[in-house]
Structure 1
């Protein structure tokens, strides 16, 4: 039998809270749950104020500095429904072309098999995903295509070196990006999902010539508001990109069987590990752009698996061996 403290903690985690956030002379209503983190609260505030989470400072006397830690769960704070807190922050009307001032995640990690399955199957995370499906509506830039598989791409260090500086963004673009997108578009719809703001995603993709390229079309763009926060025993609280959000909104086109996601951070696909492929990060663009062949090799891999019925059965950790073996078989034939 559960102890009274465990029972009250559980009810607090599942309880929905309605908070009032005062900012710029106005009051905004934000709904969260106890199992959400402070970072998730900031995402909800961003939705109604357009102030990015990294620009927000939350003030509430009884809580103090804990509101500065995005990983703290709201169930650990003395919050009550209808509580009023103050937010200090500025809307970024003028887009910051680079994201140098955003925190960089270098300590990526791989969870153990049991823990990864536990996160994916944990009911609290399924609830978060359901809430996100209700809250975040994907806007299609181009129609989904029947019979095509789905490729979900990260931006930073996947398509673009966002930490280096250049005279123009094209100098920081990963080699063969347009050739890659053109080739895979024959078999895959393409969605770009970044952990940054939508404004930055749109501007960066525009600058790289991705949004208006005549040789391929981007199905949709997703930003940080589409992510959810999960907790692991060994690694604490972190954000991830649940593909279930896409599958739920376009079930007649995309499923776990026909979707693959490229990201340089494996933590981003912890909710769907069987669909994720770790791409080698593209850093130090000026030194590496003449030698980086990652997108060339990944083009071969994507086209070689496009005929398969269920991509989730593949071990994407060995994608380079699969692509190499497939190329040798074609040469032999």
Structure 2
């Protein structure tokens, strides 16, 4: 006689079958004293399916300690073998242009997973997993920055997620193109071995108007900046969307930061690691003037 598993079966009117108590997990069907012809409705997933869904995919990127990986940035940035890989991506990687670059705009490159979207939690709609203020952030950034999406996943996944989040069809901003994992390169670090990174040089080599001086990238993984450390800003990861939606305001504050630094001549010269401490030039001049005019 099969056992009832709460995750597998939901029985209509079960409280009327065993006094006022719900059946236990190991309760057998024979003990329910069901009348002939009584119907049992099956819902949900089998136990083995639930177990399989809880196992991370085999092709997930290796997780490494990301706290001190910047120690190796300077040594890696200019190695000829990696520059050769970038040159090959420039020559061979095909970009599907969604919208044209706009003259005079700076460039904002954005990751997806844990940056714009909680890809590990489950929900009925993409909206529930979308980072709060995503569309407000992109609308604000688009005024001064061209926007590129770069994810360490497949192009098909990127396109589906951008549709799901409503980014691909939004009227208030446009993304000029997507980059997938094929645009990344592998590098070797003495401390961490081989890791995959996102070299902005691939974009700079394909588009003359974008350089290290006018480009900034947001990603929740610092190692993606190893080839261009001065242009990367490590965003706080957005995880457990159902618990953190109400208190996550990272994108609102980063929208302000992008506004504040847009007049800077060289974005790579800024300390993006401490972006929250940044003071706009106008505010710095005002503080300096107030200090100089104070009592001697």
Task: Please indicate, yes or no, whether the TM-score normalized by the shorter chain is above 0.5.
Answer: yes
Which of 225, 242, 247 matches 1:291? 247
SS of the equivalent of 1:146 reads coil
Shift of 1:140: 1.3
- Equivalent residues of 2:107, 2:147 under 8 A apart: yes
Which of 147, 161, 177 matches 1:204? 161
TM-score (structure 2 length as normaliser): 0.74
Distance in 2 between residues matched to 1:100 and 1:177, nearest whole Å: 27
1:140 is matched with: 97
Which of 93, 118, 121 matches 1:164? 121
Shift of 1:104: 5.5
Alignment of 1:192-231 (within 5 A): 192-231=149-188
Alignment of 1:310-329 (within 5 A): 310-322=266-278, 325-326=279-280, 329=283
Distance in 1 between residues matched to 2:139 and 2:274, nearest whole Å: 24
1:262 is matched with: 218
1:305 is matched with: 261
Runs in 1 of length 4+ with deviation above 3 angstroms?
325-330
- Equivalent residues of 1:211, 1:218 under 8 A apart: yes
Distance in 2 between residues matched to 1:184 and 1:196, nearest whole Å: 24
Rg larger in structure: 2
C-alpha RMSD of the superposition: 2.0
Distance in 2 between residues matched to 1:195 and 1:171, nearest whole Å: 22
Shift of 1:259: 0.1
> Greater relative contact order: 1 or 2 (C-alpha under 8 angstroms, separation 6 or more)?
2
Distance in 1 between residues matched to 2:105 and 2:243, nearest whole Å: 36
Distance in 1 between residues matched to 2:143 and 2:70, nearest whole Å: 36
Shift of 1:137: 2.1
For residues 46-85 of structure 1, the C-alpha deviation after alignment (integer angstroms, 9 at most, x for no partner) is xxxxxxxxxxxxxxxxxxxxxxxxxxxxxxxxxxxxxxxx
Shift of 1:133: 1.2
Distance in 2 between residues matched to 1:201 and 1:293, nearest whole Å: 24
Which of 226, 229, 232 matches 1:276? 232
SS of the equivalent of 2:175 reads coil
Distance change in 2, residues 1:298/1:327 (3 Å)? farther
- Equivalent residues of 2:70, 2:223 under 8 A apart: no
SS of the equivalent of 2:251 reads helix
TM-score (structure 1 length as normaliser): 0.66
- Equivalent residues of 2:70, 2:222 under 8 A apart: no
Shift of 1:262: 0.2
Shift of 1:329: 3.9
Unaligned runs of 5+ in 2: 1-54, 288-296
Shift of 1:108: 3.7
For residues 230-256 of structure 1, the C-alpha deviation after alignment (integer angstroms, 9 at most, x for no partner) is 0011110010000000000001x2000
Count of residues paired in the alignment:
230
2:34 is matched with: none
SS of the equivalent of 1:262 reads strand
Unaligned runs of 5+ in 1: 1-98
Shift of 1:100: 5.6
1:237 is matched with: 194
Alignment of 1:111-130 (within 5 A): 111-113=69-71, 115-130=72-87
- Equivalent residues of 1:108, 1:266 under 8 A apart: no
